[in-house]
Amino acid sequence: MTPAYAIIYALVVCAGGALVSLLFSKNKAVAGWLCFLATALSSFLAITAAGTVLLSGPGEAVTIMELPQLGSSLRIYIDGLSAIFIGLIATIAVLSAFFSISYMEHYKDYGVARYYPYFLLFVAGMYGIVCVSDMMLFFFIFWQLMTLTSYALVRYEYKKRENVRAANKYLLMMQIACVLIMVASALLAQGPATVGSETLMKYDFEAISHGLPGLLQSGSGVVIVAFLLYLIGFGIKAGMWPFGQMWLPAAHPAAPSPVSALLSGVMIKTGVYGLMRSFLWLVPEQAIESYPSAGWGLLIAALGTITLFIGTLQALKQEQSKRLLAFHSIGQVGYILLGLGACVALIRPGLQNETVLGLAAIGFYGALFHTINHGTFKSLLFFNAGSMLYATDTQDLNKMGGLIKFMPVTAIMTLIASFSIAGVPLFNGFASKWSIYVATILGSSVAKYLGICAVFAILTSAITLASFMKFFGVSFLSRTSSHVAEKAARKPLLEVGWMMQIPQLILAALCLVFGIIPIGAYQLIAQALHGSQQGLGASLAKMPLARLDGLAGIASADGSALFDPLVLIMVLGIMLIIAFIIARLGGSKKRADEPWLCGYAQDAEQHRYGAHHLYAGVKRYIRWVGGKPKPHM
């Protein structure tokens, strides 16, 4: 079975599973298990396809249907880049489906006939969008399959007017993005092209790429307009500033938490996929001299820097769990865009200087690695938030407190995810951000502005850590709130069941593995590049990313930057042992006492610090960034 046929079968399984789950939708548990089994089978087929491509290279494309009069064909082709995104979609989809079985019992007033069928078709749409090579009709079909089903999932709780409004905004923005991308493809398409022994339709991606050198050499302004439309269209999908703020913070909290994990962890990555395809794989190597990569790199890096900084500042102001996570999705996409922008800016001078090309490769590796990492830790965070919502019936962080006593497993998983997104060393977020920092700091010798971008990126990681100190602290570490105490009085252990814990444990393990042994992910990306020898991706594939150091360490191409997790573990371990010895030498005794209440005689709810109170002084000075939190109750 070739990779293309494996994906075709995965699409068929998703469609069949949607029909079967609809037929059994009167029983939530049965429908949930059927959806999970269909998702698991389709994910197995998808991961098989992705693994085959990464190990053996891309297989032959499969053309199912041709429409010469429309210039389109249903052609399925999977290369290394597609394989990475297929693997990410499959992993998060199967975990979300398993999480859903128990989680959907939370919705007493809503059935699952409007959930599981749409869930499976949503997954099918995402598979299709990263595998189809047509950029017009069949791109439109898969885009609409992905968009309309996710629209239905966002408005699942349709009795809440704010959810319907959020879904409508989401639908409008996705349709605008679709139109912009299709117009861009129409502007660049020249006609059918013969590539190798295959004649491709007018709107096939490879046919557009084949005709691009002539357009670039002609100096036509059409190319600039088309690439700008690609940037805006795929940028809307990815959540890039300022477009992400128009839909993402409303849509992600409205959807059920397993869907929020798919939206943030996977779906917005299809926008990242489109940007990588457009600005690197669409441009043939022989056209590099005519391709204004420096200008596009500057624009993407600048937008990425603004996105990561503004999105994270807006997240710092939030008091609703899933809304806070949604703004952080915008911020983390900014890091991905910054890495991609650095790669695009450095790739042309890199063709004359191997060291600079190495930095361009590091920027791309960082962007793609952070795409994978964000998919893992952000999906985990939405599972965490969903578990908290399931136990407390609220997203309001001000009403939470002391949950670590009642939800210890969720607390540990949330702490791992929080450290990961904040870029704490030995967690996966640091490993990918490190590559982006290296590419931008060292790349500033060629493009001066990259150094400024790096400063903002590092500062934003500190702001992210502050935001998640709030997220974790007010939820789990503060004194028990009256709301939590009331819930615990009815059910002493609020912890979610094992079916909602297992997906969290798997993702938390991935966060640790990719943080401690990042070379595994880098080798995976290297395989993806070697299996994607098209356009400027072929230039990146020629350049080995880095030298390996020990079991898990990585050095930059010229050896000027080094990250070795094992050495870091040893250093931290020695420091902890020394601190423990010093503490024991003091001979002080441990004691437990009531917390000081700042002079108040009584422990009351109004004397407890909540999310609203934290960083009040800072929030006063960042009103200009927007992202107003929902009113504090």
Express each pLDDT in 332-364 by its tens digit.
999 999 999 999 999 998 888 888 888 899 999
What is the residue type of 188?
L
What does the CA dihedral 243, 270, 132, 147 come to, rounded to 10 degrees? -60
pLDDT for the residue 333: 97
pLDDT at 487 over 90: no
Give the residue with greater pLDDT, 539 vs 459: 459
pLDDT at 473 over 50: yes
| Mean pLDDT (whole number) for 126-146 | 96
| Mean pLDDT (whole number) for 111-115 | 94
Shortest CA distance to 95 belongs to which of 383, 373, 288, 323?
383
pLDDT for the residue 195: 81
User: CB-based burial of residue 599 (10 Å sphere; 0-12 exposed, 13-18 middle, 19+ buried)?
Assistant: exposed
Residues 74, 5: Cα–Cα separation, whole Å: 13
For residue 132, give the DSSP letter: B
pLDDT for the residue 514: 93
Give the residue with greater pLDDT, 633 vs 84: 84
Judge whether 92 and 127 are in contact, CB under 8 Å: no
pLDDT at 30 over 60: yes
pLDDT for the residue 149: 97
pLDDT at 454 over 60: yes
pLDDT at 173 over 80: yes
CA atoms within 13 A on the CB side of 1: 14
Confidence of residue 561 (pLDDT cuts 50, 70, 90): low
What does the CA dihedral 564, 53, 43, 177 come to, rounded to 10 degrees? 90
Pairing of strands 198-200, 547-549: unpaired
pLDDT digits (tens, 9 = 90+) for 235-281: 999 999 999 999 999 999 999 999 999 999 999 999 999 999 999 99
pLDDT for the residue 567: 81
pLDDT for the residue 29: 94
Residues 284, 523: Cα–Cα separation, whole Å: 24
Residues 595, 516: Cα–Cα separation, whole Å: 37
Confidence of residue 282 (pLDDT cuts 50, 70, 90): very high
Instruction: Give the residue carrying structure tokens 């919502």.
Output: 389
pLDDT at 232 over 80: yes
Shortest CA distance to 119 belongs to which of 35, 240, 19?
35
pLDDT for the residue 550: 45
Alpha-helical (H) ranges within 517-564 are 519-530, 537-542
Judge whether 470 and 477 are in contact, CB under 8 Å: no
pLDDT at 632 over 80: no
Instruction: Give the residue carrying structure tokens 């000027």.
Output: 560
Pairing of strands 553-555, 547-549: antiparallel
pLDDT at 482 over 90: no
Give the residue with greater pLDDT, 341 vs 590: 341
Average pLDDT, whole number, for the chain?
A: 91
Burial 97-130 (b: 16+ CB within 10 A, else e): bbbbbbbbeeeeebebbbbbbbbbbbbbbbbbbb
| Mean pLDDT (whole number) for 189-212 | 89
pLDDT for the residue 560: 60
| Mean pLDDT (whole number) for 444-456 | 95
Residues 332, 464: Cα–Cα separation, whole Å: 10
Judge whether 213 and 189 are in contact, CB under 8 Å: no
Residue 583 — left, alpha, or beta (φ > 0 → left; ψ -120 to 50 → alpha)? alpha
pLDDT at 545 over 70: no
pLDDT digits (tens, 9 = 90+) for 597-617: 666 656 666 667 777 778 888
Give the residue with greater pLDDT, 11 vs 570: 11
| Mean pLDDT (whole number) for 297-325 | 96
Q: If you count them, how many residues does the chain have?
A: 633
Pairing of strands 547-549, 562-563: unpaired
| Mean pLDDT (whole number) for 79-106 | 96
Hey, what are 360's tokens? 């361009």
